[in-house]
Homo-oligomer: A and B are copies of this chain.
Amino acid sequence: MDEQAELGRYDRGLEILRRLAGEDEPAVTRDFTDIAPDLGRLTVEFPYGDVYHRSELDLRERQLATIGGLAALGYALPQLRFHIAGALNIGCSRREIVEAIMHLASYTGFPAVLNAITVAKDVFASRDDDEPGYADAAPEPEGSRYERGWKALAEIDGHAGEAVIENLQSIAPDLGRYIIEFAFGDLYVRGGLDLRSREIVTIAACTALGSALPQLKVHIHGLLNVGGTREEVVETILQMAVYAGFPAALNAMNAAKEVFADRD
């Protein structure tokens, strides 16, 4: 790791950050030069020079994961604003961003979703492009909410998801029913965002929450069940080290280790 390689981290980080920011001098590189002159450099080097530069997820997936993690933290609205605009700048559609945020209602509850969607609305309004706001409401999917939800849960989360519902029967069967109907029958089956992306967003959010490790394990199974790879699981968690810290990423990585061992 010679001098040249060190320079490389900053330069390649800045290249990605510029694409996200849509400007040559992103704010984080200049806002704190007077009180914390190294902070801009460190924010470019590790998050963007090291993590974003990795090939295991593409930039679109990283932005969806980041939006999931930041929305789940709840307090990270300035960063969410930057990364929603960043997602648009690198080619995510408004619909994908809105779907990723709405998808979180199951994992974070409604307040985090409503605050994030308010930020998204502001970001969309600030852009003078012609992309339609969203088009029409999604058509109601076929079948009863319970039936289509149970089918989706079984396909996506498999035995791990079914065990969650089973475990509730003796204490709160209605909570199980709401998970089937709302999380799966209302949200998972919506169009506008593919299942693999929905699971990446879910893994990011559960990692950032920190206290959702049992549910994270269910959705690591979920990503693998809908065609994702172990490398994508690991990479989504690793990316959360940037936004939620190493402890959150380490605990999530241990959860992934257990799931991988279960499946072997």
Contacts and interface: CB of A to CB of B under 8 A. Distances in A.
Interface of A: 1, 6, 28, 31-32, 34-39, 41-43, 45-47, 50-51, 54, 70, 73-76, 78-79, 94, 98, 101-102, 104-115, 117-118, 120-121, 124, 133-134, 136-138, 144-146, 164, 167-168, 170-172, 174-175, 178-179, 182-183, 186-187, 190, 206, 209-212, 214-215, 234, 237-238, 240-251, 253-254, 256-257, 260
A159 B107 CA distance: 34
B250 A214 contact: yes
How often does this chain occur in the complex, in copies? 3
A106 B168 CA distance: 30
Contact of A212 (B70, B190, B248): B248
Q: Is the interface of A mostly helix, strand, loop or mixed?
A: helix
Given A37-B136, A109-B242, A171-B257, A186 B46 contact: yes
A147 to B, nearest CB: 8
Nearest to A183: B246
Nearest to A170: B257
Nearest to A38: B137
A235 to B, nearest CB: 9
A46 B211 contact: no
Contacts of A178: 46, 50-51, 238, 241, 246
B111 A243 contact: yes
Nearest to A69: B109
**CB-based closest 7 A-B pairs:** A210-B211, A74-B75, A212-B247, A76-B111, A37-B137, A215-B247, A79-B111
A75 B43 CA distance: 21
- Count chain B CB atoms within 10 A of each CB in A76, A105, A247, A257 and give the residue with the most: A247
A262 to B, nearest CB: 14
Given A38-B102, A39-B102, 10 more contacts: A1-B146, A37-B134, A39-B117, A46-B186, A51-B178, A54-B174, A73-B109, A74-B74, A171-B257, A212-B247
